[in-house]
Amino acid sequence: MKKLALSIVVSFFVINSFSQSYYFSRYHLGNTKEAIKIAMRGFPMGEGIDGDGIPYLYFIDDKARTVFAYIFNRSNRCIKVVISPADNNSTSAWIRLFNEDYAKINNNKWRCNPNGDSFIIELLKYDSGDSYFEVREQ
C-alpha cells in the first residue's frame, strides 16, 4: 500500500511538471533551430551533427525527467522530435497525457491535429530497451 501511494504521488508530480515542456515540444515541428532555442531558453541545451550529417538540438528538463531532441533537415527546419523519459514512471505519465489530449491509434501511437497541423506520436524502444517517443509530421 505504501508503494502504491508513493507511486501515485510521484506520478502526480511528474505529470504536473510536464506541462511547460510538453506544450513546447508539440509545436516545434517545422520551426528553425533559432526559434526553438528561444522557446526553450532556460533549459540546459546541447547541439551537434550526427554521423549522417543531420543537425540536432537537445534540451534537458530535470523537473519532467525528460530529454527532448529536435532533429533538423538541411533547410534548418525541425522534422522530428524525440522525447526520452528518464524512467518508466515518466514514460507512463507521457502516455497518460497523450491519451487525454490526442486520438489514440493503438497502444503505442497517437494522432494529433493542433491548429490544423497533423502529426503522429509513436512510442518506440532503443536497442537498450528504454522507451522514447518520436513526434513527426503525418
> What pTM did the predictor assign?
0.77
**In one letter, which amino acid is 29?**
L
Query: What would the pLDDT profile of 29-78 be if each residue is shown by its tens digit?
Result: 888 999 988 888 888 889 999 998 999 999 988 887 889 899 999 888 99
- Single out the residue of 24, 23, 10 nearest to residue 87, CA to CA: 10
Q: What is the DSSP letter of 114?
A: G
Residue 92: pLDDT band (50, 70, 90) is very high
Residue 136 bridge partners (DSSP): 80, 120
Q: Which three cell numbers stand for residue 22?
A: 510538453
